[in-house]
Homo-oligomer: A and B are copies of this chain.
Amino acid sequence: MAGRAAEPEVIWARPERTGRGPRPAYTRADIAAAAVRIADAEGLDAVSMRRVAAELGCGTMSLYNYVPRKEDLYELMVDAAGGEHELWEPSGDWRADMLRVAHQTRALMHRHPWLPRLMSPVYGFSPNALRYLEHCLACLDPLPEPYGTKLELIAMLNGIVTTYVTNELATDERTRSLPWSQERENAIRIAYLGGRIATGEYPRMAAAFAEDAGPIDLEAVFERALGRMLDGFGPRR
């Protein structure tokens, strides 16, 4: 009694099972899986404590025995998704390996479109985050730089992937979600933008739109961004 002590600790620091009392009906993995299932099928906003509890088949407040705050539920989800990273024996070519990491992360985020929104702090040292980091560092073994630099590289890689995938997803979303037909939405946008540009206040924007290099290949843009970033590291040039 006397108020259960609120625990600010990282969820990974508290043991999943303490030994006292009846054995918990679910594991953290169960809970994470349920939340991920909902988020995949109905979007992140559908993930509420009530909904997850219903998916598990337990009372809403029972969830709070496993997850002190909703934020921690999110951490469980991110970790579960991170577990889908398949790791491999480093090839010896750190550049190729890091490109492969980036593409895998991108695929992961496309499979779980809610991931980017939950990844604001680069990584929270969840079990699978540690596995992932260790793997990246292993891939970077051939790179003659201190670990500090390697961690910077990894952070930057994750940042770029997150940024680009977020953009891709936003574009997808925009074209899919509204039944006001994409053409109508686009027409409105173009009309507005065209009107703005026609004022002559933005000559370079006008030129950029006039340039019109056909439909932009987002995949290629992603590739170029990665390449340029990795060029910034590597053996002293």
Measuring CB to CB, which residues of chain A are less than 8 angstroms from any residue of chain B?
8-10, 12-13, 116-117, 120-122, 125, 127, 130, 133-134, 137-138, 141, 146-148, 150-152, 155-156, 159-160, 162-164, 166-167, 170, 178, 180, 185, 188-189, 191-193, 196, 201-205, 207-208, 211, 213, 216, 221, 224-225, 227-229, 231-233
Contacts and interface: CB of A to CB of B under 8 A. Distances in A.
A122 to B, nearest CB: 6
A120 B8 contact: no
Secondary structure call for the A interface = helix
6 contacts: A141-B204, A146-B213, A147-B207, A148-B211, A162-B163, A163-B163
Contacts of A227: 232
Chain B CB count within 10 A is highest, among A167, A204, A211, A225, for A204
Nearest to A177: B8
A12 B192 contact: yes
Nearest 9 interchain pairs by C-beta: A228-B232, A159-B163, A147-B208, A137-B204, A13-B192, A121-B170, A134-B202, A8-B180, A147-B211
B205 A133 contact: yes
Contacts of A193: 125
B224 A152 contact: yes
